[in-house]
Amino acid sequence: MAAPVVLALGGSLLRPEESERHAWLSALADTLSRCKTPVGIVVGGGAPAREAIELAKPVVDDVAALDEIGIAATRLNASIVAQVLQGAGIDVCIGIPSDVSSAARGLDNHSVVVMGGTRPGHTTDNVAIRLAIEAGATRCLIATNVSHVYDSDPRGNPNASSIESMTLSELQEIVGPPVHGAAGGSGVIDPIGVQAAIDHKLPLAVLDGREIERISNALAGKSFIGTQVEVD
């Protein structure tokens, strides 16, 4: 069987206030139904994670405890995606695996496995990269709500430049050292995951997941709009 591909879906892609979300979920199902390789999907927490962490923060000061709340939100979002895919007739693993080993085993028997977070101390970017390593995936695609990796944060710097192609160590220079920030904190990609990709020589790609065609092209190994992050 062809090697799997792993796709991290940033939780912002499921934002309830996103008016096109139903069309987006249907298009995602359509893309996955045509995919020729097994796909491991790792879904982020997005708005429910942020809201729940903010709710708890004034009375919960332990980062790991706040992380657990974030993990619950990622699994909620993963359940939505898994149910949509199952409803579309895709052979998706029933149940949300709680660790990457179970998810990797699921990919031996199913076309698609959907999961969320695993344990405190990192984000779903790192879970996706770990799943890609465990499952022998060729590449880990990080679908988020920006078009590329930028040389500085485009939210704060209007002159930030997008990057089409870079190495893992160049990406590490941008995201910083492999430490877990605050629960619910958000950079372009989790630095802990970038370190794991460096250690295991796993190529990454960062793309705008709101554009399903980009996900579709990247899953098929075709050229796509986004940032290719190659092994040094």
Among the listed ranges 92-100, 111-119, 167-175, 198-206, the one in contact with ligand UTP (CB under 6 A) is: 111-119
Binding mask 161-180 for ligand UTP (x = CB under 6 A): --------------------
Q: Please tell me the distance from the alpha carbon of residue 179 to that of residue 128, in angstroms, as a whole number.
A: 17
DSSP-derived letter for residue 119 is S
Nearer to ligand UTP (CB atom), residue 89 or residue 156: 156
Minimum CB–partner distance for residue 122 and ligand UTP (Å): 5
Minimum CB–partner distance for residue 217 and ligand UTP (Å): 22
Contact status, residue 126 vs residue 116, Cβ threshold 8 Å: no
Of 5, 6, 7, 11, which lies in the binding site for ligand UTP, with binding defined by CB under 6 A? 11
Q: Please tell me the distance from the alpha carbon of residue 206 to that of residue 218, in angstroms, as a whole number.
A: 10
Give the torsion sign (CA, 184, 209, 102, 138): negative
Contact status, residue 205 vs residue 224, Cβ threshold 8 Å: yes
Binding mask 14-53 for ligand UTP (x = CB under 6 A): ------------------------------xxx--x----
